[in-house]
């Protein structure tokens, strides 16, 4: 079986099948050798989510690192952003997270953040891959072996950082929480209660195999229902490693990343504090969201899908916030990468300071009807030329009234057709015209149709 390779967010695979302890050991050896020759501290912080395979992979990684003389501090179960915070402020050369984020429990992953709290670069990952292929470097013995310790001090520092984000406190706020049986299952309720909120929590009993199984940020129906039936003011759901968060208002309506950013940015703009008046989104950000921002004098900068692209554009534009519909938001003043707990607290503080409820904020803008259709094809080669006339017709019909995004899948013979428009009828007519042509001319068939108007995006 081929070894897992670095993708857009570390390495992932089925634990103990593709992502084995042997691989983790070799990766630890390679990263340790690289770290030993670098100018950053030869110390690593490791955190993991609640999967059964997490301790196994962490132990193998730690053994490899210590074998190369690197000191390892295990944080135990910790959100990805907590590890990033520790790496940035705790004197570590790297942070390592053993997690497969929103994937099901049998999967696992290994991802890295630098001593600056940002994700590892492609160049660093290529170097580690090369070192694994070449075999381990010379190891020392005796006092040249690194130590492996367990400490919760970095998590305590992260908790203090979070609580300080809301100096007004959250007294009187009734919050429903879905921790997805993941990395935030203990920390999120602890933060909320420290700020004076009442927390009604589900998804806080991890057993190693139930992470993301029946709720969380990718299955928001759970938090929507919980918020409504418990009479909570607002609800929040995290994914398995807590680098994203989505919300529900008191009526059980989904507040996705677009809405969260819009509510937050509108509040800062009204106070004259959104400088520059820019928000970073992606090609999937809703057109109604863009119009809503424009009416307040805020520019939406779009990037390809992916938090690395969002982070890069935030840095280039000096924007104060950005993110994706999925709830993976970045507030660079606090953290350089996505942090679901920071997102939660920034949103809740906006509600407290503005004196508004989540339900009243929900009414501030109307998303444009948005539809995504996946068309399986015999081949997507030459798809643009084959659909040229329909694409031109669609662009003409949507001019000033909507938006079109058509792209082939990067992993399978499939064309993804996304259409949004001011009116549902226009959206559906344009979509059907393109889908019919794709089915006929690409030897295809419809594999899925998702209404993204109020959803989490692609």
Both tokens of 341, joined, read 């707990």
Taking Cα atoms as reference points, which of 245, 303, 304, 198 lies closest to residue 81? Answer: 245
Q: What is the per-residue pLDDT for 1?
A: 55
Taking Cα atoms as reference points, which of 155, 207, 146, 219 lies closest to residue 182? Answer: 207
Query: What superfamily would CATH give domain 11-153?
Result: Alpha-D-Glucose-1,6-Bisphosphate, subunit A, domain 3 (3.40.120.10)
Query: For 171-185, what is each residue's pLDDT tens digit?
Result: 999 999 999 999 999
Which residues, including other chains, have CB under 8 Å from residue 164's CB and lie 6 or more apart?
Answer: none
Residue linked to tokens 């800062």: 268
Decide yes or no: CATH 3.40.47.10 for domain 165-362.
no
> Which residue intervals of the chain bear CATH 3.30.310.50?
370-451
> pTM for the complete prediction?
0.92
CA distance 58 to 283: 36
CA distances from 62 to 139, 146, 147, 181, 397 (A): 15, 9, 9, 25, 58
Query: For 380-400, what is each residue's pLDDT tens digit?
Result: 899 999 999 999 999 999 998
CA distance 400 to 409: 27
CA distance 66 to 239: 31
**Is 354 among the catalytic positions?**
no
Give strand pairing partners of 8.
10
Q: What angle do CA 258, 260, 261 make, to 5 degrees?
A: 65
> Which residue intervals of the chain bear CATH 3.40.120.10?
11-153, 165-362
From 101, 120, 248, 285, the catalytic residue: 101
CA distances from 258 to 101, 334, 457 (A): 21, 19, 10
Tens-level pLDDT at each residue, the chain (458 residues):
578 889 878 999 999 999 999 999 999 999 999 999 999 999 999 999 999 999 999 999 999 999 999 999 999 999 999 999 999 999 999 999 999 999 999 999 999 999 999 999 999 999 999 999 998 888 989 999 999 999 999 999 999 999 999 999 999 999 999 999 999 999 999 999 999 999 999 999 999 999 999 999 999 999 999 999 999 999 999 999 999 999 999 999 999 999 999 999 999 999 999 999 999 999 889 999 999 999 999 999 999 988 889 999 999 999 999 999 999 999 999 999 999 999 999 999 999 999 999 999 998 989 999 999 999 998 889 999 999 999 999 999 999 899 999 999 876 889 999 999 999 999 999 999 999 999 999 988 998 888 988 877 65
Both tokens of 355, joined, read 């004196």
CA distance 247 to 259: 9
Q: What angle do CA 399, 405, 245 make, to 5 degrees?
A: 115
Q: What is the per-residue pLDDT for 89?
A: 96
Q: What is the per-residue pLDDT for 308?
A: 86
Q: What is the per-residue pLDDT for 4?
A: 85
Q: Which CATH architecture has domain 370-451?
A: 2-Layer Sandwich (3.30)
Q: What is the per-residue pLDDT for 363?
A: 87
């Amino acid at each position: 079986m081929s070894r897992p390779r670095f993708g857009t967010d570390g390495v992932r695979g089925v634990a103990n099948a593709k992502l084995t302890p042997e691989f983790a050991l070799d990766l630890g050896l390679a990263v340790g050798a690289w770290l030993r020759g670098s100018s950053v501290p030869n110390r690593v912080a490791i955190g993991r989510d609640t999967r059964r395979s997490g301790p196994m992979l962490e132990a193998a990684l730690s053994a490899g690192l210590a074998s190369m003389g690197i000191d390892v501090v295990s944080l135990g179960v910790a959100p990805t952003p907590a590890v990033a915070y520790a790496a940035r402020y705790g004197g570590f050369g790297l942070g390592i997270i053993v997690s497969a984020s929103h994937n099901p429990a049998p999967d696992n992953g290994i991802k890295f953040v630098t001593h600056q709290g940002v994700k590892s670069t492609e160049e660093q990952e290529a170097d580690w891959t090369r070192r694994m292929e070449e075999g381990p470097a010379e190891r020392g013995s005796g006092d040249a072996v690194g130590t492996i310790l367990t400490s919760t001090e970095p998590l305590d520092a992260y908790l203090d950082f979070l609580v300080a984000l809301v100096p007004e406190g959250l007294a009187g706020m009734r919050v429903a929480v879905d921790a997805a049986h993941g990395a935030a299952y203990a920390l999120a309720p602890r933060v909320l209660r420290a700020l004076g909120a009442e927390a009604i929590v589900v998804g806080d009993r991890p057993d190693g195999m139930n992470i993301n199984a029946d709720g969380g940020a990718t299955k928001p129906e759970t938090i929507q229902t919980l918020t409504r039936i418990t009479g909570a003011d607002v609800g929040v759901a995290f994914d398995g490693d807590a680098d994203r968060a989505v919300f529900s208002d008191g009526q059980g309506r989904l507040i996705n990343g677009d809405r969260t950013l819009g509510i937050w940015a509108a509040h800062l703009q009204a106070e004259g504090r959104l400088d520059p008046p820019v928000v970073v989104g992606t090609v999937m950000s809703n057109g109604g969201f863009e119009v809503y921002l424009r009416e307040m004098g805020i520019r939406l900068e779009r990037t390809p899908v992916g938090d690395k692209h969002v982070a890069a554009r935030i840095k280039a534009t000096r924007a104060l916030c950005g993110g994706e519909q999925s709830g993976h938001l970045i507030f660079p003043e606090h953290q350089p990468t996505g942090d679901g707990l920071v997102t939660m607290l920034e949103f809740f503080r906006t509600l407290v300071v503005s004196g508004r409820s989540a339900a009243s904020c929900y009414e501030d803008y109307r998303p444009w009807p948005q539809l995504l259709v996946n068309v399986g094809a015999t081949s997507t080669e030459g798809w643009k030329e084959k659909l040229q006339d329909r694409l031109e017709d669609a662009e003409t019909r949507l001019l000033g009234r909507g938006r079109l995004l058509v792209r082939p899948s990067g992993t399978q013979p499939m064309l993804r057709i996304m259409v949004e428009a001011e009116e549902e009828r226009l959206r559906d007519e344009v979509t059907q015209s393109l889908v019919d042509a794709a089915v006929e001319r690409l030897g295809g068939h419809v594999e899925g149709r998702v209404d993204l108007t109020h959803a989490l995006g692609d």
